[in-house]
Amino acid sequence: MFRLEEETEADVWEVEALYDLCFAPGREALSSYRLREGVPRVAALCLVLRDGDGTLAAVIRYWPVKVGGKPTLLLGPVAVHPTRQGEGLGALLMRESLAEARRLGWERVLLVGDAPYYRRFGFIKRDNVTMPPPTNPDRVLGIDLKPGAWDGVTGQVTKADG
Q: Which residues contact 64 (CB under 8 A, 6 or more apart)?
A: 39, 42, 71, 72, 73, 74, 160
Mean pLDDT of the chain: 93
| 86: containing domain | 2-159
pLDDT per residue as tens digits for the range 143-153: 999 999 999 99
How many structural domains comprise the chain? 1
Own/partner contacts of 25-29, CB < 8 Å, gap of 24 or more, are: 27/77
CATH classification at residue 149? 3.40.630.30
Q: Is the pLDDT of residue 28 over 70?
A: no
pLDDT in the model for residue 29: 58
Contact status, residue 142 vs residue 108, Cβ threshold 8 Å = yes
CA 74, 102, 70 angle in degrees (round to 5)?
Answer: 50
pTM recorded for the entire structure: 0.93
